[in-house]
Amino acid sequence: DAGVIQSPRHEVTEMGQEVTLRCKPISGHDYLFWYRQTMMRGLELLIYFNNNVPIDDSGMPEDRFSAKMPNASFSTLKIQPSEPRDSAVYFCASTILGGIDEQFFGPGTRLTVL
Amino acid sequence: DAKTTQPTSMDCAEGRAANLPCNHSTISGNEYVYWYRQIHSQGPQYIIHGLKNNETNEMASLIITEDRKSSTLILPHATLRDTAVYYCIVRVGEYGNKLVFGAGTILRVKS
């Protein structure tokens, strides 16, 4: 299994631009999580899905952030418009009901907003 | 979820056991203790979890005190590749419940 796949691995953009981060969870997993990591705030959960349905989006910082999961094998996190304070590493993770409740994390996307 | 307290950093000699403590004095009866680690520039990696009994797997052992107010993660023979940030997390053990990461412990394994 290839594990959780995230793209792009690095993204540099200018303030005001739209940014889309992508995630492919491990096949068969029914939970998907989006996290953000910064030096100041550490690792924070933004939103998570179960069977493609958003369950808890209380960590989404503001309306500029949105996440979708159109099918079981793909999710996006969009920031529009982006701001310098959005610069962070964004991780996607997935897990499966019935396993040992281990979340498998992707390699992350390092976002820099200039 | 109960709050956890971990030392900011620890050093360990290569080949020796690394013992990472975690305090969770407000833990509830249905809350599990989870350990994850994050090696530099990588996503966090699950290590082990437990409720009240000691647990062991191929990576580590988890020792939970009888009153469950603290626990210790043990890496039996630390290697340089074990240098990472180790997170102790307490949460209700229901699938899909979110993990709340604290600051963790920076473990430096030295040769």
Per-residue tokens: A54: 């958003």
In a mutational test of the B interface, the residue from A21, A26, A100, A101 whose CB has the highest number of chain B CBs within 10 Å is A101
Per-residue pLDDT band for B41 (boundaries 50, 70, 90) equals confident
**How many angstroms separate the CA of residue A68 from the nearest CA in chain B?**
17
Q: Mean pLDDT of all residues in chain A? A: 94
Closest chain A CA to residue B93: A101
Is the Cβ pair A103, B101 closer than 8 Å? no
Closest partner residue to A108 among B43, B45, B49, by Cβ?
B43
Distance from CA of B110 to the nearest CA of A (A): 24
Q: Which of A23, A5, A14, A12 is nearest to A74 (CA)?
A: A23
pLDDT, residue A16, reads 97
- Length of chain B (residues): 111
| Contact at CB, A44 and B101, closer than 8 angstroms | yes
- pLDDT surpassing 70 at residue B61: yes
Taking the C-alpha atoms of residue B102 and residue B108, their distance in angstroms, rounded to an integer, is 18
User: What stretches of A20-107 show up as alpha helix (H) in DSSP?
Assistant: none
Lowest-confidence pick of A84-93, B42-51, B54-63, B88-97: B88-97
Q: How confident is the model at residue A98 (pLDDT cuts 50, 70, 90)?
A: low
| pLDDT at position A99 | 59
Question: Which token pair is B39?
Answer: 């090696």
Measure CA of the first residue to CA of the last residue in chain B; give whole Å. Answer: 37
Across residues B45-57, what is the average pLDDT? 93
Average pLDDT of the segment spanning A52-58: 93
Could you report the per-residue pLDDT of B5-36, keeping only the tens digit for each?
999 999 999 999 999 999 999 998 888 899 99
pLDDT of residue B95: 55
Show which of residues 71-110 on chain B sit within 8 Å of chain A, judged by CB atoms: 87, 93, 95-96, 98-103
Structure token digits, residue A41: 């705030």
Q: Distance (Å, rounded) from C-alpha A108 to C-alpha B26?
A: 32
CA distance A104 to chain B (A): 7
